Structure 1
C-alpha cells in the first residue's frame, strides 16, 4: 500500500478572454478509499459552447467515479467510460444548438497500489515528474503531430502555426471518432508529482522549469508562481485561459508520540 500521502490543488486565470472555458477538478471515490481522480478540460466552440463542453467532461468524470469500485471496475476502463459518456452528451447538446462544443481532456487516476493511470485527447497535457525531472509527457493530438508521425511533415508545414493548433482528436468532435491515448506509471514513490494543464500554461514553460517549480514549492506556491509567470510571459491583451492541477506525493506526516503518564485502572 502507499507509503506517501497526496497533496493536490488547482489554479486558473481567465487571461484576456471574455470567458473562462477551462475546467479542472479533483475527486475522491466514495466506494474506493485511497483512489483519486484529477480532471482537466479545455473547452472550445465559441462563447458558452466551450464552457459547456468542458463542464460536461467534469460532470461525467464525477458521476462515473462515484460509481467506481475496484472490486468490479478496471481503472483504465473507467477513464474510457468517462470520456465516452462526455463525448456522447456533448454531441447531443450540439444537435440542439447552433454551436459546435468540444473539449480536450486529461484524466489521471492514482491507486493505493502505487500506480498512476492516465488518458488524454487534445493538446491539454499531463507531465510526470520524478523530483524536478520530467520522465513522461503526453503528446499533443494536433494535425502537425499527426503529419510528423506519418512522415508527411515538410519544412513549409512545420513552420505553419495553424497546423500546430489544429486538433485532430477531442471530446465531442463531429468529424472524428474519439481516440484516447493512455499511459501509466508503476512504483510511485515520495517525490513523484503530476501536472495537468491547458495550453494557456504549458506554452510558456520548458519541462525543466515546470519540474523545478513543482519540486521546490508547495502545491499552492507552485500554482501561484506558474500562473503569475505565464501571465507575465504572454503577449499583452492576448493571454489565453490558463488552468492547472498539481498532484504531489509527499512523506507521510509522523504521528505524534504521547509520553504522558496515565493512571492505570485498578485490576479486579
Structure 2
C-alpha cells in the first residue's frame, strides 16, 4: 500500500451529469454514486453501453447497479482494490447471463470505469474506453487505460498518439463487461493517497472525443463539481454532441461544499 498520508480533514464535492447528446435518440450511458456511512467514503461509476437500442441501456444500467451493490457488500473485506475487481466480475457475469437468456439482448456489453475513495485513499478499475482522469496542480493525467485496438497499437509502438486521435478505428473496443464469460479488468495496483485540491473526472468517450485534457483540467479546477459537469457537457454539445455524454467530477476540498442543483440525467 502507498504509505503517503491522506489529510485527516477533507470533504468531497461530487457532481454528476449524463446527457443524450444531439444526435442519439436514447441514452445508453449510465452513471452512479454511492456514499457510505462515513460520508467521506464513496463509489462513483460510469458505464457506456453497446448492443443496440435496448441492449446498451440494459448493459450499462446493470453494470452500474451490480458494482454499486457488490462493492458495498464487499467493503468488509478490507482489500478495497480486490473488492472493486470482484464487483466488476460480478457485473460481467450478470450481463453475460442476461444476454444468453434473452434473445433481444444477445451480444450486449458495456464499458465500465469506477473510482472508490475510502479513508483518504483512492482505488479504481476499468474495462473498455470510458476514462478516469486525475487533475492536480494544473496537470491532467489519465489513470485508466483504454482497451481499444488503436490504444494497443500505440502501446506497441505501431502508431503515434497524434495519429491515434483521429484514427477511424479508435473506438474499436478490445474489452467490455458482459460480452464473454470472463473479462480481464484493469485496476489500481496500490492505494492512491488523496490530497486537498485533487480533482478526479470519470467520463464516457462522448466527452473526451470533443473536449481536450487542458480544457477538462481548467474547468474542473475552477468550478464547483456540479457546475463543472454542466460546463463540460455543454461544451461537448456545442462541438456536435455526436454521442451520449456522461461526466462525474470529484473534488477533494478542505471545507464542506455548497450543494447546488441535484445531479442530472437527461434521456
Normalising to structure 1: TM-score of the pair? 0.84
Separation (CA, whole Å) in 1 of partners of 2:220 and 2:145: 21
1:28-82 Cα shifts (integer Å, max 9, x gaps):
235x664210101000000110010001111111211331334x33111111111
Residue 242 of structure 1: aligned partner: 245
Separation (CA, whole Å) in 1 of partners of 2:117 and 2:144: 17
Residue 4 of structure 2: aligned partner: none
Residue 118 of structure 1: aligned partner: 124
Helix, strand or coil for the counterpart of 1:54?
helix
Helix, strand or coil for the counterpart of 1:104?
strand
Structural mapping, 1:41-120, within 5 Å: 41-70=47-76, 72-96=77-101, 97-98=103-104, 99-112=106-119, 114-120=120-126
Relative to structure 1, the CA distance from residue 252 to residue 242 in structure 2 (aligned partners, 3 Å threshold; closer, same or farther) is same
1:27 and 2:34 correspond: yes
Residue 229 of structure 2: aligned partner: 223
1:224-260 Cα shifts (integer Å, max 9, x gaps):
11111100012xxx61101111110011249xxxxxx
Structure 2 unmatched runs, 5+: 1-6, 258-267
Separation (CA, whole Å) in 1 of partners of 2:158 and 2:142: 25
Structural mapping, 1:180-259, within 5 Å: 180-183=185-188, 186-234=192-240, 239-253=242-256
Normalising to structure 2: TM-score of the pair? 0.84
Please identify runs of 4+ aligned residues in structure 1 that moved more than 3 A.
150-154, 157-162
1:164 and 2:167 correspond: no
Helix, strand or coil for the counterpart of 1:163?
coil
Residue 262 of structure 2: aligned partner: none
Superposed displacement of residue 100, structure 1: 1.3
Relative to structure 1, the CA distance from residue 151 to residue 10 in structure 2 (aligned partners, 3 Å threshold; closer, same or farther) is same
Superposed displacement of residue 204, structure 1: 1.1
Residue 258 of structure 1: aligned partner: none
- Contact 1:45 1:101 survives alignment (8 Å): yes
Larger Rg, first or second structure (1 or 2): 1
Separation (CA, whole Å) in 2 of partners of 1:59 and 1:159: 32
1:100-147 Cα shifts (integer Å, max 9, x gaps):
1100000101011x2111111111000001143214432211011123
- Contact 2:110 2:177 survives alignment (8 Å): yes
- Contact 2:150 2:169 survives alignment (8 Å): yes
- Contact 2:15 2:227 survives alignment (8 Å): no
| Number of residue pairs the alignment of both structures matches | 246
Structure 1 unmatched runs, 5+: 255-268
- Contact 2:150 2:167 survives alignment (8 Å): no
